[in-house]
Amino acid sequence: MAIGKENALKAVLEAAIAYENNLANRYLLFVFQNKLHKIDSYETLFRRSNFLHLTGLKVTSEDINASVFYQRCIHKRLSINDFELSSDGTTELKLDVLPSLMCKNLSANMIGKHDSYKVKLYTEKLAGNVRGCMGFVLDSKEKYNVPNTILRQDIRDLVFRPNRIILTYRKRIDENAYSEIVYAAKNYDWSSLVLPAHLSHLPLPDPN
């Protein structure tokens, strides 16, 4: 069922506020465990200019770049005349799952490398859950990972091998170190966790 531009506008404006409050100009660091129980990590930066790519909307004017689009969302100045919905229905799918991914940990409990043999996507890494996920690519100019898409699809159907996220940390772009834990896996024995040397500075949940 088509969402309609009025409903799409409402959904995007609400999502933009959540993005600003939870993700914009912040880093997330996912610490995960693979099938061999090896601990690894993946870091990504959320810029305000990344938000447009997550909505599935197509702007109608060259004057509306990603930054202008975001500012219009935040200040509630975006109009239904400023965008079009994708003709293939992907906008509706993205906007359906977008709200759940705009929280401070993306509602993500799994992460993995995109499997291009399963689904053709321009993305490299995916983090999410059984209902939806967010994709990330390396920004070749700035040399950091950024979000570039979202999907309303089980992450297990999109990656080579889903890895369990055990911890997710968040920090502002101007902070040097991670101190905030925004996700901790349930029923994990924190007293047994030994982080690799490059992650040993990270705080851990109280084992009790």
pLDDT score at 115:
85
Residue with tokens 């084992």: 207
C-alpha span between 32 and 13 (Å, rounded): 32
Sign of the torsion angle spanned by Cα atoms 72, 78, 81, 87: positive
pTM: 0.94
pLDDT band, very low/low/confident/very high, at 2 (cuts 50, 70, 90): low
Q: What's the average model confidence in pLDDT over 185-206?
A: 93
How is residue 33 written in tokens? 């465990």
> What letter represents residue 83's amino acid?
F
**How large a percentage of the chain has pLDDT more than 70?**
98
The alpha carbon of 83 is separated from its chain's Cα centroid by a whole number of angstroms, namely: 22
Residues 6+ apart with CB under 8 A from 116: none
pLDDT band, very low/low/confident/very high, at 9 (cuts 50, 70, 90): very high
Q: What is the per-residue pLDDT across 79-96, written as a single tens digit (0 to 9) for each? A: 999 999 988 888 999 999
Q: Which of 62, 26, 58 is nearest to 44 (CA)?
A: 26
20 by DSSP, 3-state: which? Answer: helix
Q: What's the average model confidence in pLDDT over 36-64?
A: 95
Where residue 196 falls (left for φ over 0; alpha for ψ -120 to 50; beta otherwise) is beta
